[in-house]
Amino acid sequence: MSTQTPHMKTNFYSLTLMLLASAFMASAADIKDCGGIRSYKVAPYVALATELQSLPKEEAIARLQEWAVSEKYDEQVIILCRMLFEPRPGVAFRRPLLGGPQFFGKTKMTDWPLEPITVIDDVPLLIVINYMLAGVAERAPSYLNHCLSNANWTTRRFRTVSKAEIAAAFEKLLKSTPSNESQSDWEFELISKQIE
């Protein structure tokens, strides 16, 4: 014989539903952990890209669209687009229009086809120090629409990466810049924060 009253069962079911809803909301809110270009961290982007790729493509795109139209996550959605879309054969897949990029190590735009990131060993690393902008940066809905019209959902599969893997990829990034054009101390300090 159960000692639970109907009121206790109702409270239990209500609590269970609240926990399930909060778990879903926490999952959908992971984009808040990603940060924009000035506060970019590798691990949250990898986790979110991995989660999006685990969903049916239409559902993942719907989540990107939801974040894009919220007007809160322009840079995050644009970075995710650079991770999750790839060029369609014969179609121009342009960079996001965020301004004139200043790359670390005095490298140039042609060195970084996925600007503002590059992907080394499945690790998306930020390679832009700053953008110089005289007007208004492109918003996430515009760039996402460009990706949907001119690019394919990537065949690259992101996965959870360890801190050691992130550090190793970052070391490869540092070695990839020309030795006579090495980054300054302040550039190194700024760019290295992404692996923390």
pTM: 0.81
Tokens at 91, concatenated? 């179609």
| Contacts of the segment 170-174: beta carbons below 8 A, 24+ positions apart | 170/123, 170/125, 170/194, 170/195, 172/120, 172/121, 173/118, 173/120, 173/125, 173/127
| Residue 103 contacts residue 112 (beta carbons within 8 Å) | yes
Look at residue 143 and tell me if it is in a domain.
yes
The per-residue pLDDT for 9 is 46
Q: Which domain holds residue 66?
A: 32-195
Task: Tell which residue, 84, 119, 77, has the closest CA to residue 98.
Answer: 77
Look at residue 105 and tell me if it is in a domain.
yes
pLDDT band (50, 70, 90) for residue 135 = confident
Classify the C-alpha dihedral 141-133-123-163 as positive or negative.
Answer: negative
Tokens at 36, concatenated? 């924009």
Across the range 80-94, mean pLDDT stands at: 94
Task: Report the alpha-carbon distance of residue 96 to residue 45 in Å, rounded.
Answer: 18
The per-residue pLDDT for 163 is 93
| Residue 48 contacts residue 80 (beta carbons within 8 Å) | yes
Total domains, the chain: 1
Look at residue 7 and tell me if it is in a domain.
no
How high does pLDDT run on average in the chain? 83
- How many other C-beta atoms are found inside a 10 Å radius of the C-beta of residue 15? 10
The per-residue pLDDT for 150 is 95
Look at residue 151 and tell me if it is in a domain.
yes
Look at residue 21 and tell me if it is in a domain.
no
Query: pLDDT tens-digit profile of 27-53?
Result: 443 899 998 988 999 999 999 999 999
Look at residue 135 and tell me if it is in a domain.
yes
Tokens at 56, concatenated? 């049916």
Query: pLDDT tens-digit profile of 142-195?
Result: 999 999 999 999 999 999 999 999 999 999 988 887 644 556 777 777 778 888
Q: Where are the extended beta strands (E) located within the chain? A: 85-87, 100-103, 117-120, 123-126, 128-132, 151-153
Look at residue 18 and tell me if it is in a domain.
no
How does strand 100-103 pair with strand 117-120? unpaired
Look at residue 4 and tell me if it is in a domain.
no
